[in-house]
Structure 1
Amino acid sequence: EMASPSETIAQWRTTIIISSSLQNHDTCRTLSAQQHRIRFSDSVEAGAFIFPLSGTAFLLVDPQDLPDSLEESGLTERIEKFVQVHRNCFLLLYSPFNGEKELQVLTVIQHRFIGSNLKILPVRNGAQIAKGMLTIAKATSKPHADKIRERMSLARAHIIETSPVWEMLRDIL
């Protein structure tokens, strides 16, 4: 019997470097409760969660914390720096509801970072933030990434073997 995805994520533990600015964030409490090793750091970007073992980094942005004039917020500069430092990076766009401002922020970020390695993950609450980060970090960390690749290649081999197209081609050749 297979464990449910949330059970599997809960059993997996990793080290997370978190910006000191997030020390009182409920996401940190969620991650601590799941026994992840958390290190707070002043030297990482404010709002950042970094998973060194999987090489992924997440930047939490709450549109409500931004001034009405996005140009003055320094947001694109912050994200630019983040994208330059972290190859495999995600922007956690916190929006409990989709208001005008949330959509405006999303649009600005999408237009500015199209074609970059930044991936945007809209999140509604602390639990979603933790679950989204852990799912991605686990899938990209060794040895899990290797296991996933191995399963994919076995599945591919099986599909090819049982494909009627391949049978037809074998008969022709």
Structure 2
Amino acid sequence: MKTILKILGVIILLAVLYVVFAMIAFSKDYHFERSVVINAPKEKVWQHVGSTKAFNEWNPFAKADKNIVITYSGTPGTVGDSYHWKGNDQVGEGEQSVTEVIPNQKLSSTLHFIKPWDGVANGSFVLTPEGSGTKVTWTMDNELTTMMKVMKPMMDSQMGKMFDQGLGDLKKISEQ
């Protein structure tokens, strides 16, 4: 019994030390990005990233809820192009609005997460020539709360899975 209590005590101590370390050592500024090279010209790839509606054809976050409700507004492919989503607990609720467009090169947007937590992030798609194809870099930047700092390794893992899935789907439809 004492051995079990000692092991439990060590586990609790390590967990507390990790939490303290994460709160102190991890930056509040969070940047995540993934890239893929697509065997298609940037004009063809742009058709799938150049508007919120095109993005939602392959958006891995929206795919997590088959019954998601998406409402679009603004002119597709221009600053102000936006959508509001409302989904299940996995998808939550929020809005994404385009803030910068350089056709065939870059689309930037602001995301406002409403549920399950309130927050703001900035995302972008950058297209650059790579050999005979196009390199697409998908980025997301936001500010982490103290609790989110503690969850950063889990966030990195989840974001990696979702970005990789999305970029894989983008590659598939762009190369058709």
TM-score of the superposition, structure 2-length normalised? Answer: 0.26
Structure with the largest fraction of helix: 1
TM-score, normalising length: structure 1: 0.26
